[in-house]
Amino acid sequence: MKYGVFSDVHGNYVALKAVLDFYKRNGVENFICCGDIVGYGPQPLECAEALRGLKNLITVMGNHDAALVGKMDLKWFNPNAAWAIEFARGKFTGQAMDFLSRLPERIETKDFTVVHGSPRKPLTEYLLSEGQFTDNAGNWTVSPCFIGHSHMPLYFSEGENGIPETDFIKPLVKIFVKGKLMLNPGSVGQPRDGDTRAACGIYDSDKKYFELYRVFYNVETVQKMMEVLKMPGILSERLSFGF
Ligand SMILES: [Fe+2]
Ligand SMILES: [Fe+2]
């Protein structure tokens, strides 16, 4: 089965639509989202509603989602991030609020594991080093484990000789699952690896490989919306640079 794997949409509905269109063009009908649906961007409700409407979606809760629903204190966020969470909170009621509130911090199926940050600290750990990958080994079993949170397309694997390996994931390079593998598909709505395009992946659970894609969307359209809403300038400016 082919899964569209994506993360960190962060209220960027223009980018999310481009990614969902990309999946549609490629016949992908099953989806895995690694959390942070809201925060930073101008259309958090539209993103949540679009994901709530997807038939075959598996998604976990991210730290920004947790803050919106009151499961995490805003003191853990910088002032700009906190501003965007409070802005988003004002838009969520009823079914959209229920959807976000009920997201689990971790999902494990027979084919994969999904968390936002890391298996041991799903809401808070930025998994960026081989050492952290090794330290998390006892906290998950089903490989691959899809993660988000750092907004960097990265993989971590056991490597040969038991020495863990990590590298950035380049577009269109197949990453095969051999042993324990963690994959971060990067961010749809706020990439931080210097590429302004939305990042997303496709995982083939039969052939057991993951491929990353970058999808163009109109950054200026999003920035204009953010300007009208008087969102903190840095949140808009960083989309022009992908950082
Ligand atoms: Fe995020
Ligand atoms: Fe996060």
Q: Tell how far the Cα of 107 is from the centroid of ligand 2, in angstroms.
A: 16
Residue ranges of the domains in the chain? 2-241
DSSP 40-61: SSS-HHHHHHHHHT-TTEEE--
Q: Tell how far the Cα of 93 is from the centroid of ligand 2, in angstroms.
A: 22
DSSP 63-131: HHHHHHTTSS-GGGS-HHHHHHHHHHHTT--HHHHHHHHT--SEEE-SS-EEESS-SSSTTT----SHH
Q: Tell how far the Cα of 177 is from the centroid of ligand 2, in angstroms.
A: 24
List, for residues 141-159, the tens digit of each pLDDT value.
999 999 999 999 999 999 8
- State how far the Cα of 129 lies from the Cα of 117, in Å rounded to an integer: 13
- State how far the Cα of 220 lies from the Cα of 103, in Å rounded to an integer: 31
* Ligand number, closest to the Cα atom of 116: 2
Q: Tell how far the Cα of 65 is from the centroid of ligand 2, in angstroms.
A: 9
Is residue 49 classed exposed, middle or buried when 0-12, 13-18 and 19+ CB atoms within 10 A define those classes? middle
- State how far the Cα of 90 lies from the Cα of 45, in Å rounded to an integer: 10
Q: Tell how far the Cα of 95 is from the centroid of ligand 1, in angstroms.
A: 23
Q: Tell how far the Cα of 149 is from the centroid of ligand 2, in angstroms.
A: 4
- State how far the Cα of 36 lies from the Cα of 8, in Å rounded to an integer: 5
pLDDT of residue 131: 96
Q: Tell how far the Cα of 191 is from the centroid of ligand 1, in angstroms.
A: 9
For the chain, list residues with pLDDT below 50.
Answer: none
* CA R_g for the chain: 17
Q: Is the pTM of this model over 0.75?
A: yes
pLDDT of residue 159: 84
List, for residues 43-81, the tens digit of each pLDDT value.
999 999 999 999 999 999 999 999 999 999 999 999 999
Q: Tell how far the Cα of 173 is from the centroid of ligand 2, in angstroms.
A: 25
Closest CA to 213 of 199, 225, 197: 199
Q: Tell how far the Cα of 134 is from the centroid of ligand 1, in angstroms.
A: 22
* Ligand number, closest to the Cα atom of 38: 1
Q: Tell how far the Cα of 78 is from the centroid of ligand 2, in angstroms.
A: 12
Q: Tell how far the Cα of 227 is from the centroid of ligand 2, in angstroms.
A: 23
* Ligand number, closest to the Cα atom of 125: 2
Tokens of 209: 């490989």
Q: Tell how far the Cα of 8 is from the centroid of ligand 1, in angstroms.
A: 5
pLDDT of residue 162: 81
Give the CA distances from residue 206 to residues 3, 144, 177, in Å, rounded to whole numbers and listed in that order: 11, 13, 11
Q: Which CATH class for the 2-241 domain?
A: alpha beta
